[in-house]
Each structure stands twice: as C-alpha cells, then as structure tokens.
Amino acid sequence: MSSEVEDERDWSTVIAGEQLGETPRRPRALTIAGSDSGGGAGIQADLKTFAAFGVYGASAITAVTAQNTLGVRAIHEVPADVVAAQIDAVLDDIGADAAKTGMLSSASIIEAVADRLRAHSFAPLVVDPVMVAKSGDALLRPEAVQALIELLLPLAAVVTPNAPEATVLSGVEVHDAESAREAARRIHALGPAMVIVKGGHLEGDRSDDLVFDGRSFEILSGRRIETPHTHGTGCTFSAAIAACLARGMEPLAAAREARAFLQGAIEHAEPLGAGHGPVNHLWRSPHA
C-alpha cells in the first residue's frame, strides 16, 4: 500500500485554534542529541521543528560540535552522567509527551540515555540512529553501534535509519526496495515497534520511505529534489515524528505528516553557506 506525501495540515491554524476558549496544555517533546553550531541539524533543527508543530521543546545535549555547511571541525562529548542529569531534570519537572534521540556519540552515553528512559518508564521514543554527518564526518563511534542495537532499539516506538544506517543495523546491504524490505524486517526483530527505512540515499527519481510495523509495509512516496540544501533532513524528519506523537497522533499518521513537512522544508530551503545548506524548518511560518 502506498500513499503520496501531501501537505494535509496547516499547523498554524491548529495552533491558533487551541488558543480559543480554554487552552489545553501545550504538548511537550524532548530531544536528546548533539548541538550543531551551524543550526541546520541536531538540537537546533529539532527545537525549530518542535516549534513549527506548536510543541514545547526541551533538550539534553550529548555533544557540542563545531560545524558548518562544509563539515565538522571538532566534537566535544558531554560526560554521560551530565547527559543523564539533563534527562532527569527535564522529565522530573517539565515532562515530555514524546522524545527523540539523535547523535549519541559513544556507548557510555547510549547506556546513560537508555538507563534514564527506562527509569522514567518513558514512551513514545523516536530513535534516529545518527552515524555520519551529511559531510561524511563520523558522529557515532563504531563500538557504540552494538549498544544502540541492544539498549535503545528495544525502547523505540519508531526508528528512522537511512540506507547506510539500515545496512549497519541489519547486516543487509540496502541498495533497492527489496533489500530495504529485508533490512526493515531484521531491524524490527531487534525490538522497535516501527521501522522507517528512508530512501534518500537510493537511486531513482523518487525519494520513497519504507515503513514496516511487523505486519505490513507502507510506502511514503516523495519527489526527489535536486538540491545541495539537505543538511539536517534526518533530524528534522525524526523530530517531526516526535512532535506529532506528542500531539497524540498514531505512529503511521505521524510519519506521513512528518514526511510532508520535510518535503516542504527541502523545497523551500534557502542557500546558506558554501556546502550542504540546511532545510527551511520555518517554511510554514508567515515570516519564513
């Protein structure tokens, strides 16, 4: 079964509508990820995306990166106990209706994140298994992959690997639709409730994402856009899913809405920097 991505919902209208009469509590989401000094990916992309969906965003920073559209110049990991303390501080007080992970960098940070999420009995969780930056710079140590598989994937409501990440997680070389299906089956067997193998790295004039929930497959179809301005697409997609989950949407509906949002963010990207520029997280805003 396939569904063409469409911009089905005007979130500015939804948000404005909530402000009429008795305003319900604003949905909250937590991002656990690295900081991108260029503002296109990581914590910065996640918080912009949460805001675009009318969701209050909180953060636990796992690493500070010095990067721009050309590449990553330096990475400084936040100590695992400080990452854990950030998660506790947010969930003990503000709380969250959904969370997502991005750059986790090391096995010790993954262990700390999984431990605190289990301690808070937290759900739903979106795992973006960030391994490599758009520039090609490594963002996850090789020895941390097994910790991600064993500790974090079983906690995930949704996991969103691109083709190279799906290859690492599944052991299947993902190069076309059939290999993506087999990879999705194997990743699902590792524990996440839903797997979305993103198609941006595959060949063809479409950029289709494959969704598998353990029972059936769904295709989220999208147009491939020839542009260098795709920095932060994975972060933005997973953050949009988390935002929609925080708003009470079911996972498949959240994935569809997130795909539509990302499509527009790529289409409306503006040139910034000399390399891989960021998508436009505010493309639905009247001030974009």
Residues labelled catalytic: 198, 230, 232-235
Beta carbons of 155 and 149 less than 8 angstroms apart: no
* C-beta atoms surrounding 282 within 10 Å: 15
Q: In sequence order, what are the residues at sequence separation of 6 or more whose Cβ sits closer than 8 angstroms to the Cβ of residue 53?
A: 11, 240, 243, 244, 246, 247, 261
Instruction: Report d(CA 16, CA 13) in Å as an integer.
Output: 5
Count of beta carbons in the 10 Å neighbourhood of residue 252:
17
Closest CA to 218 of 248, 177, 266: 177
Strands (E), the chain: 2-4, 28-36, 56-68, 71-77, 98-101, 125-127, 158-159, 194-197, 209-212, 217-221
Q: What is the DSSP letter of 277?
A: P
